Chains A and B, each alone.
Chain A
Amino acid sequence: MRGRLLLLPYLKSALAVAAVGFAAHALTRLVPLPHVSVLFVAAVITSAALWGLGPSLFAAGLSVGAGSYLFYSPIYSFHVTDPQDFADLAVFIIVAVLTSRLADGVRRQARQIADARLKAQGEALREALINSVSHDLQTPLAAILGSASVLETMGEHGAPRARRELAATIREEAERLASHIGNVLDLTRVRSGQIAPRLELVELSDIINGALRRKEKALAGHTLHVDVPSGLPMLRLDLFLMEHAVANVLDNAAKFSPAGSKVSVTARRAGGDVVLEIADEGRGIRPEERDRVFEAFYRGSPQEGGAAAGSGLGLAICRAFVEANGGRATFASAGPGRGTRVQVRLPVSP
């Protein structure tokens, strides 16, 4: 298989030479062409530019053969007798070899530039990941280390209230750390293609309830409104990917809306889909941000307090997981300060 692929460029070069040969042969019947070799140079340059040095030299060799056979007297024989034709061929060979090398160099450079660009994109992504991760890991770590060292220095002399507060900080920050690490692990698993959805017929309500239970703490300060009819059809989904996706949206709703406000979870049948909607009464987003919220590391504009809240991975993971389940996740907001609504459409399997 690999050998055949390596030979393919040579075959293409041969076809290019053959095409030029036929075209030139037809042309010389209509108009006399004094230096037919110029036409073959085109086939050689094309081969060099597209397929590399080897195929272009191969094309040059074939061109010499085809030229002497078709155009130099005696025609239809590989013998060349005319000294002028000899000179013609010699010039052709020199030009062919030179242009081959030039064109091949250009081709290599182009490829290097493309490689470099791809690499730079990878680097940018990696840099964003490292920045995000190191910030998200270092901030809670600093708080944990600091609080723990204060607690240790205080010993028995610390006021009970101060000790309790320090301990609470340590716990809260450690929870934040755990959630970030979980997100990064998930994203790397999606990116590296490690996650293959295991689809089975499941109850959407089980998934929603699982996600609600997982985010119980985050949602504790909000009024929860759940409306999931019990007659919904069972869906073919991966339980854990979908629970995770829903949990991430709930987490966002809790994070970006004020305490006491309403978070609603509704599901309904809409044609061939089941539509799950999670809406909050939070800070919302501007229309131009709508497509960016699903990007990895996008955290909203800092002046609205977006950057402080999380790793910017939650909705990216949500979309990746929903799409792995054959669904679609979209985001809508009436504008800043007017809440957001994440809609997840899941197909009902026939």
Chain B
Amino acid sequence: MSDARAQVLVVDDEPQIRKFLRLGLEDSGFAVLEAASAEAALRAAVAARPELVVLDLGLPDREGFEVLARLREWSRVPVIVLSVRSREDEKVRAFDLGADDYVVKPFGMPELLARVRAALRRRIESEAPEPVFRVGALEVDLVRRVVRVSGAQVRLSPKQYRLLQILVTNAGKVVTHRQLLSDIWGAAHRDDVQYLRVFVRKLRSRIEADPARPAYLQTELGVGYRLRTPDQLDGPP
């Protein structure tokens, strides 16, 4: 096994879906391992140590969540979940369990590939985090705790800075309402989403040129927030 290609574990019980994922991923230079059940997925994850997992949440008996939870007991391997539309509760649960990103079914291969590449890139970056985060005109110096927009220093309250800091350390990833709330205000407030929204509005007014069309601090409706990385900057707000 002298294969230098990055290995991706695909977990889905539908053979047709596994087939096109394998063809698409292999065509883009990845090596693909397949698993059709939760048991097989966990075995493969232990045996092969893949660099990324694509996990369908629609496995029979909600096993998708179980795979994620058990995987996170010992591994930080990036996990991209596949979920169906109008199941925001599933997305939230997956993120709370430690998923890295999601793709809504039905999806095209280019979309999934973009997420896979971004997740792998983040993995490399998070191993050696940069002390200064930059995206567009925004600059966050995590060591000196200084925030600048177009070079001018911006004053933030301690909680606003904490919010930004969490998003910066998870840049490119969705951070759920629950994670942000319990981290900033404590577990007792983890369901006060409206409070968080007011806070995000204030933070946006400090760091965004047009807070109604935010370039950096992106809302994932009903799920949480995502701070964009420079390579995610081109999309719509």
* CB-based contact A201/B88 at 8 Å: no
* CB-based contact A230/B211 at 8 Å: yes
Q: A35 to B134, alpha carbons, bound, how many Å? A: 103
Q: What's the least CB distance linking A131 to chain B, in Å? A: 25
Chain A 209-227 interface 0/1 with B at a Cβ cutoff of 8 Å (1 = within): 1101100100000000010
The verdict on B106 contacting chain A, using a C-beta distance below 8 Å, is: yes
The verdict on B85 contacting chain A, using a C-beta distance below 8 Å, is: yes
On chain B, the number of residues with a Cβ less than 8 Å from chain A's Cβ atoms is 23
Q: What's the least CB distance linking A247 to chain B, in Å? A: 11
Chain B 187-200 interface 0/1 with A at a Cβ cutoff of 8 Å (1 = within): 00000011001100
Could you say which residues of chain B place their CB within 8 Å of the CB of A120? none
Q: What's the least CB distance linking B228 to chain A, in Å? A: 12
Could you say which residues of chain B place their CB within 8 Å of the CB of A212? 236-237
Q: A90 to B221, alpha carbons, bound, how many Å? A: 79
* CB-based contact A178/B213 at 8 Å: no
* CB-based contact A201/B194 at 8 Å: yes
Q: Which of A202, A206, A207, A210 has the most C-beta atoms of chain B within 10 angstroms of its own C-beta? A: A206
The verdict on A271 contacting chain B, using a C-beta distance below 8 Å, is: no
Q: A178 to B85, alpha carbons, bound, how many Å? A: 11
Could you say which residues of chain A place their CB within 8 Å of the CB of B219? 203, 206, 209-210
Chain A 95-132 interface 0/1 with B at a Cβ cutoff of 8 Å (1 = within): 00000000000000000000000000000000000000
**Interface size bracket, A side:** 20 to 34
* CB-based contact A229/B212 at 8 Å: yes
The verdict on A280 contacting chain B, using a C-beta distance below 8 Å, is: no
Report which B residues bind A (CB closer than 8 A): 85-86, 88, 106, 108, 193-194, 197-198, 201, 204-205, 210-214, 219, 221-222, 235-237
22 A-B pairs whose Cβ atoms sit less than 8 Å apart in the complex = A175-B106, A200-B194, A206-B219, A207-B221, A208-B212, A209-B214, A209-B219, A209-B237, A210-B219, A210-B221, A212-B236, A212-B237, A226-B213, A228-B212, A229-B212, A230-B210, A232-B212, A234-B194, A240-B86, A240-B88, A240-B221, A243-B221
Q: A200-B193, A212-B236, A230-B210 are in contact. List 20 more A-B contacts (CB 8 A).
A: A171-B108, A178-B106, A203-B197, A203-B219, A205-B213, A206-B219, A207-B221, A209-B237, A210-B219, A210-B221, A213-B236, A216-B235, A226-B213, A229-B212, A230-B212, A232-B212, A234-B194, A240-B88, A240-B221, A240-B222
